[in-house]
């Protein structure tokens, strides 16, 4: 019998169950029918953050950023490269600290960019500042399998 893994859809925020041995094959959302792993991040909002943090069996890597932040904009391509390279080992998300100030305050975001790794509703790691892809992957290594 194969274990299943819960994955929250980046498009419609519905929780899906996939056989763990089929994770690399991807799969489609049972509700919206979009690919569960399409090399895209989820945009976190007050309405969906809890679901992504608590219902994903995968670690959720969060980029806390703002549009006016130069270092945040310079890190964005690295974050996108990491998604394409590391999915489905993790779920990737972005939190716009300017538009979701209460959510950012909940996580005590004091500087940006700040990266978080969340799993089962708990923060596993935090790192402030910009990294290149190699540094980012090295930092994530202990948290993603």
Positions annotated as catalytic residues are 69, 72
Helix (H, G, I), strand (E, B) or coil at 5: strand
Residue bearing tokens 């509703």:
121
Please return the burial class of 126, using the count of CB atoms within 10 Å of its CB with bins 0-12, 13-18 and 19+.
Answer: middle
| Span between the terminal Cα atoms of the chain, in Å | 21
Max CA separation in the chain (angstroms):
50
Contact partners, residue 39, CB within 8 Å, separation at least 6: 80, 83, 84, 87
């Amino acid at each position: 019998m194969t274990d299943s893994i819960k994955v929250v859809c980046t498009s419609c925020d519905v929780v899906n169950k996939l056989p763990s041995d089929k994770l690399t094959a991807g799969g489609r959302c049972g509700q919206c029918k979009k690919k569960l792993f399409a090399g895209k991040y989820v945009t976190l909002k007050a309405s969906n953050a809890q679901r992504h943090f608590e219902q994903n069996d995968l670690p959720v890597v969060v980029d806390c950023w703002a549009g006016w932040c130069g270092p945040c904009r310079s890190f964005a391509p690295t974050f996108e490269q990491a998604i394409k390279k590391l999915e489905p080992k993790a779920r990737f998300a972005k939190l716009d600290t300017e538009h979701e100030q209460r959510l950012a305050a909940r996580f005590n975001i004091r500087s940006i960019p700040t990266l978080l790794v969340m799993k089962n509703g708990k923060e596993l790691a935090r790192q402030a500042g910009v990294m290149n892809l190699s540094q980012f992957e090295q930092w994530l290594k202990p948290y993603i399998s």
